[in-house]
Structure formats: structure tokens, C-alpha cells
Amino acid sequence: MQMLCRIVKYKYLHRRSPLNNLNIYNSVTIFKQRSTMDIDWATGDVNLYSSRTSYDVGQRLLEPTHRDPMEMLKSWLNEAEHCPDIPEHNAMALATSTTDGIPSVRYVLLKAVDDRGLLFFTNYMSRKGRELTENSFAAVAFYWHPLHKQIRVEGCVEKLSGSESDEYFATRPRQSQLAALASGVQSSRIANREVLDSRMRDLELKYPEGCRIPRPDIWGGYRIIPSKMEFWFGHTNRLHDRFVFMKRDKCLPQYELPQSDILNEGANGWVYYRLTP
């Protein structure tokens, strides 16, 4: 028996900075999509053995399209943005970890790419915020199924300045600003939905239309400074193309550059090599 879920893209708004940096501050999406899976209703088991996609793209990624992976990231993001079958091109899975190696992962929205890294915003007291305080290393992954493309980024994470966080917070819709205040310490336990609704009603009275809403001190931005990036391009029979870029001067202790005969010089301090699927 199949369970069916439908999802269709409705609206997409964006603003791009005139600078070389990528700005996705005003990116808003409402979407629906379709997928199927087999469920044994007697046992509740889900069987995905026969669920697979053939990546019949008819082309190969013989070499990276850019020698600087940050430029390649921007190029692939731009391609994903203009693909009508991708509802939220700036969604990325963010993985963090405690100092003793307990991981957690969730989706966040990429909000900008500058000359130093990838920017996202969240509550500093959320689980991810607390884990980044303990362990400043993180990883993100983008996956755009209609393009058969994936990007993985690993590196150190730093907090943005208060002014940078203020600049982004000011661009958020009023209700989103109020929600950041109403949430308080993100992921804290509450009795029911009414707790949030009551906070929102109080905040709407405190900050009427046209009134400036202050950014909460426990809310702001982070920058992921990449030291390793992987670009994946899906192919038929799972013979995918994979290229890894590493920054020579930012290699983490656990990273080891391969032998020189498969190492290629990139741009701006990056080197790259190919991986098997």
C-alpha cells in the first residue's frame, strides 16, 4: 500500500545584492511536493528497498566548473534558484556536535555568502547554538534532487557581530521578528500552544504596527568558514562525480591532503581532487 504526499511550489520572492556576495535575506517560499513509499499497515514497517532514482543526465562533470569552490557554490545556488522544481534552494542541513561526539542535525536557511563563508541565523540558546559554543566545528549539506547535485561544507563557525545580526533582523517580516521574541530560549519545553499564542498577543500590543522591534540578545547570526567542500553530481548506475576542495592553510587536524599526483591546484589557496562514488 502506498502513502501519498503532495507538495507544490506557490510563491518565491528574492532579493540579490548588487555585490559579488550572495544575499538571500528576503527569500520566502511556500511549497508542496509529491512522494510515495510502501507501508505494511499490519506491522507499521516502511519498505524503501525499491525506491530509487536513475540519474539519466546525459553528461559528466569531468572537471570542476570553477577553481574556487566558493564561486562554484554560488553558481550551483544560482542554478537551483532558477529551477522551478526546487521550492527552497537555500535550505541546508546543519550538523553540530557536543564535545563528546553526540551529533544533531536540522535544516536551516542559508541567508548570505560572503568572501569568508556561509551565513545563517538562529537562537543562540537553541541546541545548535549551545553545541556551537562547545564545539565550533560544523558541517552543512545542500541537496537539489531535480539537478542531481549536492554540496557538503565543513569548517569552523564564528558568531556574526551585533551590527551584522541587526542588519538582517531588520529585514525580517514583522511577525517573524515577534516570533523570535516569543520563542524565548529556543527548544525550551512549554505546556501547550497557548503559551506561544499568548506571548505573541502580548508582544503585538507592546510593539504595534510601525514600531521598531528590537533583536533579542540571544538571537543572531553565524558564519561557517569553509575548510573543506565537496561537490557531488549524480550519474546513471551510481557512478557519481565527486570533487573535494580543501584549503591549504585551514586544513583541520583530522584532514590529510592526498598524494600530489592526484592533487590539483585551485584558486585562492584551494586544492582539489576527485573521489570514487
pLDDT of res. 200: 96
Concatenated DSSP letters of 41-100: TTT--EE-TT-------S----S-S-SSHHHHHHHHHHHHHT-TT-S-TTEEEEEEE-TT
pLDDT of res. 13: 39
- Which amino acid makes up residue 95? A
Q: Is 238 a catalytic residue?
A: yes
The Cα 138–Cα 120 span in angstroms is 12
When the pLDDT of each residue in the chain is averaged and rounded to a whole number, the result is 85
Residue 252 has pLDDT above 50, yes or no: yes
Distance from chain centroid for Cα 117? 12
Through-space distance between the first and last CA atoms of the chain, rounded to whole angstroms: 33
Q: What is the pLDDT of residues 148-192, one digit of tens each?
A: 999 999 999 999 999 999 999 999 999 999 999 999 888 889 999
The Cα 266–Cα 273 span in angstroms is 10
Name the most confidently modeled range: 32-46, 85-99, 258-272.
Answer: 85-99
Q: DSSP label at 12?
A: E
Q: Is 180 exposed, middle or buried (0-12, 13-18, 19+ CB in 10 A)?
A: buried
| Inter-residue contact 233 to 148 (CB < 8 Å) | yes
The Cα 22–Cα 17 span in angstroms is 6
Between 136-145, 213-222, 234-243, the lowest mean confidence (pLDDT) is in 234-243
> Which residue of the set 15, 60, 174, 238 is catalytic?
238
The Cα 175–Cα 224 span in angstroms is 27
Q: Walk across the sheet containing 2-5 and list its strands.
A: 2-5, 35-39, 46-47
pLDDT of res. 8: 35
Residue 17 has pLDDT above 50, yes or no: no
Q: What is the pLDDT of residues 47-97, one digit of tens each?
A: 877 777 766 666 677 788 899 999 999 999 999 999 999 999 999 999 999
pLDDT of res. 20: 64
- Mean pLDDT, to the nearest integer, of 188-206? 95
